[in-house]
């Protein structure tokens, strides 16, 4: 797949951004995917920063971000362009536009826009979010379009050919297995759930003024909750960020967090999980190291 059309000026090394904390292995994978011109496929628990990653890559490299949120009905062709026949029909009946000019009813999708921008050598970051939402044909069809780097608008005969490869970030929540042919062409990264130190750094990005003692106590209690066996849904990074906001607003005493779980509903969203947490003796659990 990488070929001479990818010969664009080298991009700076990506290291995360002040608002996005990336572990070293993630930075390395991002940089290798960019250098190889391969799509970066990112998996990981919900809330581990998969969607936000594309924005952070765009920001860090000084490029524009285009976003394509995949739905169950999305087809690869939709990413290239849509022919808005409804608008044309409306215009033919009520409007004053010249409906013979079909080009004005061609709406480029995010992939089409990325290729259009790349015609003159402009690289953009294209996020294809939650690829596993669509049907099984979608990943392979998408690869076909990504490989080709060009497409023809059949209705007008216009060809759009990218001169450089966009930086493509694809996220998956692992709801479905992805086809082997698709995986072969991607660079893959699994975002591990952050350890305590990294979680602390991420929280600081969102709450720069947080009191050290409160943050440390919140992190310990959060990890205790995550370690509870049989949770249906473990709380994620984004829920931790909300929880710390709640603790700060309410002025919770950090010492209390050793024995209580205030605002449990910010962390736990399943009735069974909140009932389970209500029975836990956190003070006892806090004595143990894990």
Ligand X SMILES: Nc1ncnc2c1ncn2[C@@H]1O[C@H](COP(=O)(O)OP(=O)(O)O)[C@@H](O)[C@H]1O
Q: State the residues that interact with ligand X by CB under 6 A.
A: 20-21, 44, 46-52, 171, 202, 205-206, 237-238, 241
Spatial separation of the C-alpha atoms in residues 176 and 192, rounded to whole Å: 19
Out of ligand X, Mg ion, none, what residue 47 binds, judged by CB under 5 to 8 A for its kind, is ligand X
SS3 124: strand
Out of ligand X, Mg ion, none, what residue 228 binds, judged by CB under 5 to 8 A for its kind, is none
Bridge partners, residue 44, by sequence: 191
Interface residue with Mg ion, options 6, 51, 238, 274 (CB under 5 A): 51
Which of 13/97 has CB closer to ligand X? 13
Site residues for Mg ion, window 225-284 (CB under 5 A)? none
Q: Are strands 124-129 and 167-172 parallel, antiparallel or unpaired?
A: parallel
Which of 52/99 has CB closer to ligand X? 52
Out of ligand X, Mg ion, none, what residue 138 binds, judged by CB under 5 to 8 A for its kind, is none
The tokens 């060809």 sit on which residue?
159
- Nearest approach, Cβ of 130 to Mg ion (angstroms)? 6
- Nearest approach, Cβ of 185 to ligand X (angstroms)? 22
Joined tokens for residue 196: 């305590």
Which of 176/248 has CB closer to Mg ion? 176
CA 16 and chain centroid, separation: 14
CA distance from start to end of the chain? 46
Spatial separation of the C-alpha atoms in residues 263 and 268, rounded to whole Å: 9
Spatial separation of the C-alpha atoms in residues 33 and 268, rounded to whole Å: 35
Out of ligand X, Mg ion, none, what residue 241 binds, judged by CB under 5 to 8 A for its kind, is ligand X
Q: How many residues bind Mg ion (CB under 5 A)?
A: 1
Residues engaged in binding Mg ion (CB under 5 A): 51
């Amino acid at each position: 797949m990488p070929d001479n059309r990818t010969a664009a000026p080298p991009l700076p090394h990506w290291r995360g951004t002040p608002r996005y904390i990336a572990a070293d292995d993630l930075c390395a994978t991002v940089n290798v995917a960019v250098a190889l011109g391969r799509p970066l496929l990112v998996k990981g628990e919900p809330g581990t920063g998969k969607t936000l990653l594309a924005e952070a890559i765009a920001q860090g490299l000084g490029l524009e971000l285009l976003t394509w949120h995949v739905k169950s009905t999305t087809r690869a062709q939709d990413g290239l362009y849509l022919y808005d026949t409804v608008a044309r029909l409306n215009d033919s009946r009520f409007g004053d536009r010249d409906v013979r000019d079909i080009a004005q009813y061609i709406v480029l999708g995010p992939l089409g826009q990325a290729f259009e921008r790349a015609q003159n050598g402009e690289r953009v970051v294209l996020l294809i979010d939650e690829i596993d939402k669509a049907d099984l044909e979608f990943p392979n069809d998408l690869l076909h379009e990504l490989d080709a780097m060009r497409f023809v608008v059949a209705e007008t005969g216009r060809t759009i050919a990218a001169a450089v490869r966009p930086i493509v970030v694809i996220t998956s929540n692992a709801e479905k297995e992805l086809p082997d042919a698709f995986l072969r062409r991607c660079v893959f990264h699994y975002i591990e759930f952050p350890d305590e130190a990294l979680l602390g750094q991420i929280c600081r990005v969102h709450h720069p003024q947080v009191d050290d003692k409160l943050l440390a106590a919140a992190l310990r209690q959060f990890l205790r909750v995550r370690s509870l066996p049989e949770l249906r849904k473990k709380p994620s990074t984004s829920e931790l960020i909300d929880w710390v906001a709640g603790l700060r607003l309410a002025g919770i005493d950090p010492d209390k967090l050793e024995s209580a779980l205030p605002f449990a509903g910010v962390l736990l969203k399943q009735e069974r999980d909140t009932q389970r947490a209500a029975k836990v003796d956190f003070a006892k659990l806090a004595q143990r190291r894990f």
